[in-house]
Amino acid sequence: MFKPDKFVSEKIEELREKIKGRAIIACSGGVDSTTAAVLVHRAIGDNLLAVFVDTGFMRKNEKERISQLFSKMELNYRIVDASEEFIDVLKGVEDPERKRKIIGAKFIEVFEREAQNFGARYLVQGTIAPDWIESGGGLRDTIKSHHNVGGLPERMNLELVEPLRDLYKDEVRKVAKYLGLEVYERQPFPGPGLAIRIIGEVTRERLEIVREANAIVEEEVENFYPYEKRPWQYFAVLLPIRSVGVHGDKRVYGYTIAVRMVESVDGMTAAYFKAEHELLDKIAIRLTREIKGVNRVVYDITNKPPATIEWE
Ligand code: XMP
């Protein structure tokens, strides 16, 4: 039986022993990185700098939420707007693995800049067990290059600290809750963000569509179900194919949004969520009514395996 109180006290001790200088963490505001940041902050205080890299691929209103969260946790933090750099390096890139690797590499580059300015010797990451197992570090072949691990260049001369490395998602949630973090109720969100919820090339137009679509799906699911009844993860994916539709008396040629909701314990396997049709109706109506350029909505009914949870 996993005991969060024991884990926290032992980990803080261990971190205090290990970290002999300044440390930096890229904090996305998700459960993993925020929990890692709070743990390390408890061990070394303001010798930790939490950096939020705004890739431009974050969810709607994420930046505002993050600054509130970090202020509240009294973290020493910086928000870096790198959204132009990220969209530039992805121009013309369609392959999911290349996308992930390019994002990972860019992320590390932006981050290294910050690390140098701060004089950091250590890099803290919120890597959890499924991240490195699926990145080829464990028993399985590389399925997807996970952002947290895949882009990490060997040349980086910062020492890696991964306080959550042995934990699965449900254990991280327990730790977060124990630490008093409000984030424990949030659904998981992938490191490369909305860029991997656009199949094919990432463009500004597609990014705004998928951001709005994800916000609508989240809002409708959260209004429809109380917390205990919600699926483990729920989101929208933009498919680059266009199909014919009608809008008023006009023929339109628009994008398709795939809605995905899954049940899972740790993300390693998943079952598609048997959502009520009433909810699906609401989502489909709002997506097509509120987002210009979207005229079709489909619901993903595959399990993992054989599909993965994300589409890329
Ligand atoms: P897949 O799509 O591999 O996703 O079935 C399993 C879980 O991991 C999330 N995910 C990621 N998380 N960095 C992360 O931290 C990533 O690169 C990444 N890719 C996928 C995904 O949202 C799901 O919860």
Kindly report whether the peptide bond that precedes residue 188 is cis, defined as omega within 30 degrees of 0. no
Q: Which residues pair with 124 in a beta bridge?
A: 25, 161
Cα 310 to middle of ligand 1, angstroms: 7
Q: Which ligand 1 atom minimizes the distance to the CA of 312?
A: 2
Maximum C-alpha span of the chain: 70
As given in the structure block, the two tokens for residue 153 are 């260049």
Question: Please, how many CA atoms are within 13 Å of residue 32, restricted to the half-sphere of its CB?
Answer: 25
Amino acid, res. 293: G
CA distance 220 to 277: 12
Instruction: Return the percent helix, strand and coil in the chain, to nearest 5.
Output: 45, 20, 35
Residue of minimum CA distance from atom 3 in ligand 1: 308
When pLDDT is averaged across residues 127-131 and rounded to a whole number, the result is: 87
Residue 205 vs residue 131, higher pLDDT:
205
Cα 57 to middle of ligand 1, angstroms: 15
Tell me which of 44-58, 177-191, 238-252, 278-292 is least confident: 177-191
CA distance 37 to 39: 5
pLDDT in tens, 17-74: 999 999 999 888 888 999 999 999 999 999 999 999 999 999 999 999 999 999 988 8
Cα 128 to middle of ligand 1, angstroms: 11
* Model pLDDT, residue 151: 44
If you ran DSSP here, which 8-state letter would residue 13 be given? H
Kindly report whether the peptide bond that precedes residue 305 is cis, defined as omega within 30 degrees of 0. yes
Angle of helix 31-44 relative to helix 4-18, nearest 10 degrees, comes to: 60
Most confident of 47-56, 109-118, 131-140: 47-56
Task: Look at strands 48-54 and 23-26 and give their pairing.
Answer: parallel
Instruction: Say whether 257 sits in a helix, a strand or coil.
Output: strand
* Model pLDDT, residue 108: 84
Average pLDDT, the chain: 91
* Model pLDDT, residue 220: 98
Cα 20 to middle of ligand 1, angstroms: 32
Residue of minimum CA distance from atom 22 in ligand 1: 190
As given in the structure block, the two tokens for residue 147 are 């952002």
Q: Which ligand 1 atom minimizes the distance to the CA of 233?
A: 24
Burial profile 164-199: b = 16 or more Cβ within 10 angstroms, e = fewer: bbebbbebbbbbbbebebebbebbbbbbbbbbbbbb
Residue 285, pLDDT > 60, answer yes
pLDDT in tens, 245-268: 998 888 989 999 999 999 999 899
Residue 147, pLDDT > 90, answer no
Q: Which ligand 1 atom minimizes the distance to the CA of 148?
A: 13
CB-based pocket (< 6 A), ligand 1? 131, 144, 146-148, 188, 190-192, 233, 267, 304, 308-310
* Model pLDDT, residue 130: 83
Residue of minimum CA distance from atom 21 in ligand 1: 190
Residue of minimum CA distance from atom 20 in ligand 1: 190
Q: Which ligand 1 atom minimizes the distance to the CA of 169?
A: 24
pLDDT band at residue 150 using 50, 70 and 90 as cut-offs: very low
pLDDT in tens, 227-236: 999 999 999 9
* Model pLDDT, residue 41: 97
pLDDT band at residue 290 using 50, 70 and 90 as cut-offs: very high
Cα 191 to middle of ligand 1, angstroms: 7
Amino acid, res. 284: A
Residue 178 vs residue 183, higher pLDDT:
178
Cα 241 to middle of ligand 1, angstroms: 24
